[in-house]
Amino acid sequence: MSPTETTPVPLRIAHQAGLTPEATAVRAPEGEMTYRRLDRRARAVAEELRAAGAGPEDTVLLGVRRGAHWAVGLLGIWYAGAAPLLVDLDAPDERLRTLLRAAGTRHAVAQDTYAAAMLQRRTGSELFWASTTTAAPTSAARPADIAPGSLAYVLFTSGSTGQPKPVAVGHAGLAAQVATLAGRYGLTAEDAVLQFAAPAFDVSLEEALPTWCTGGTAVFVKDNVLSPAELEPFLAEERISVVNLPTPYWSQWAKDLERAPRPLPSALRRVVIGSDAGRTADLTRWAAAGHPPVISCYGLTESTITATSYEPGPAELAGFAGDELIPLGEPLAGVRAYVLDEELREAPPGAAGELYLAGSCLARGYHGRPGPTSERFVADPFAGAPGERMYRTGDRVTRAPGGPLVFLGRADDQVKIRGHRVELKEVEAAVSAHPDVVDVVARAVPADGGPQLAAWAAVTPGSPLTPDALRRHLLAKVPGYLVPAVVTLMDRLPRTPGGKLDPRALPAPAPR
């Protein structure tokens, strides 16, 4: 069963055509939940929210953590016709208050009275709320009819500029993406899909919704900060068939498996990675060891999660020259990708340009912010119909004739060091090639005499690597202007719940 472009995704759970109501929809630390029970509990949440006045275009704080209550709350908000506000519940209180004000949120879903009181105290708001522990609705009311273009959810970008922006995604775009991804990943009712992403990250929706819309089971891991080796027994015990992981996490897994070769759980048939640029060397090692196929995905919150994907065949794996960035691949069905120059002209094959995305994947814009929306969502001069838009990603890419899109870096990731134009991704590639480095980020930092390169690298536990040793290793491999002047070694890099780097949490560069 797949949603159509005009059918809001969550309503497919209420009308379980072709699904067995007693099949398991959720497995979580607090227990299992069938499709029938999930539907009834979601209807109860919807009834309480409607009674409190929540409806179309209203945002509702999804104030529950990962697990069965998250599933109930998510669908309950949609059944009420409203839109979940996805936030990090571990964020400071002041940030929560800022986000709720920006989204105009007056309703919440909480697990119980105590949790609701805590939310109201932390947010400083009198929120109308519904409980995910209500066993069943008091009436047989059906889920709300939702217009395809209405608001599906709101998710704030990380706000690296200090001004987080609330991205508003519509139901039609979400439904189209879910149908496409269910087919792309080959999901069926037999699949058990790992629910790994944090609830504040939209990949959590990509894990759950295609699974439910094909009758599979979403399996929640209690702790998503486990190391890959620690996660493997859970995958085996739960017979997980599909995982969707942050690329740095998967890269750490690939390197760990190379150091300590072992078979992976037998039920695992598909690995999806995303959120950051991966390395072809990790792909090559992974495939050579006979591990399950990997699909590398690229997308942004503004493109309703995933916009392009790449799955190399044997010939492509054999053709990788050294260690490169994994290509972005090809656009998903319904997505258009343009490589444009500064004059919005299509860049010639092989030339660099900025990536623009268009089509059904686009979000509606930034919730309640017409100014920023008009700056990033611009008119599409290549569209077949008037009024269509494209989104300026800020990512530099290229495409060879007949080849996949290839990521070159952020438009603002090109810096000048001692007269040389340097791509920060090139620096990161050089550092990550060291066998003891599992994660790295490079930045240009101010210094006397002009900007200099700094790198922060996470290394394998117990590694004897020192900053000076890493720099000597690099000096033997790459030109001196690509070698960071300062290197800070860490156990792990600070990342957001969605797996993206949190640059504000990086320590000051270690002095030499």
- pLDDT score for 159: 46
The per-residue pLDDT for 92 is 81
Residue 2 inside a domain? The answer is: no
Q: Hey, CA dihedral for 95, 306, 227, 413, is it positive or negative?
A: negative
pLDDT at 307: 96
pLDDT on residue 7: 46
Note whether residue 217 is domain-resident: no
Q: What's 264's DSSP letter?
A: P
Location of structure tokens 């509606």 = 364
Q: So what's the pLDDT on residue 1? A: 37
Residues 307 and 201 in one domain: no
Residues 256 and 152 grouped into a single domain: no
Does 220 map to a domain?
A: no
Residues 178 and 306 in one domain: no
Same domain, 270 and 401: yes
Residue 512 lies in a domain: no
- Say how far apart CA 20 and CA 13 lie, in whole Å: 11
pLDDT of residue 147: 84
What CATH number does the domain containing 136 carry? Answer: 3.40.50.12780
Nearest to 75 by CA among 26, 30, 6: 26
Say what the pLDDT of residue 163 is: 64
Any idea what the CATH number is for the domain that residue 498 is in?
A: 3.30.300.30
Predicted confidence at residue 161, as pLDDT, reads 42
Q: Is residue 70 part of a domain?
A: yes
Whether 169 and 288 map to the same domain: the answer is no
Same domain, 404 and 424: no
Report how far residue 62's alpha carbon sits from residue 110's, in angstroms, rounded to the nearest whole number: 7
Residue 431 CB neighbour total at 10 angstroms:
25
Residue finishing a domain among 363, 392, 409: 409
Closest listed residue to residue 130, CA positions, set 107, 105, 152: 107
Same domain, 47 and 191: yes
- Domain hosting 279: range is 225-409
What tokens were used for 443?
């930045």
Q: Among 391, 409, 427, identify where a domain stops.
A: 409
Q: Is 42 found in the same domain as 164?
A: yes
Same domain flag for 90 and 36? yes
Query: What secondary structure does DSSP assign to 320-357, as a single string?
Result: --SS-BPP-BEEPTTEEEEEE-TTSPBPPTT--EEEEE
User: Are 110 and 205 members of one domain?
Assistant: yes
Number of structural domains (the chain) is 3
**47 and 164 inside one domain:** yes
* 6 domain residue, yes or no: no
Q: Are residues 275 and 308 in the same domain?
A: yes
pTM: 0.82
Instruction: Identify the domain boundary among 211, 240, 261.
Output: 211
Q: Supply 446's token pair.
A: 């101010």
Which residues, in sequence order, are CB contacts of 503 under 8 Å at separation 6+? Answer: 160, 441, 443
Let me know if residue 4 belongs to a domain: no
- Is 297 inside a domain boundary? yes
- Separation in Å, CA 235 to CA 209, 249, 268, 287: 20, 15, 8, 19
Low-confidence ranges of the chain (pLDDT < 70): 1-18, 158-163, 412-414, 416, 418-421, 449, 497-499, 510-512
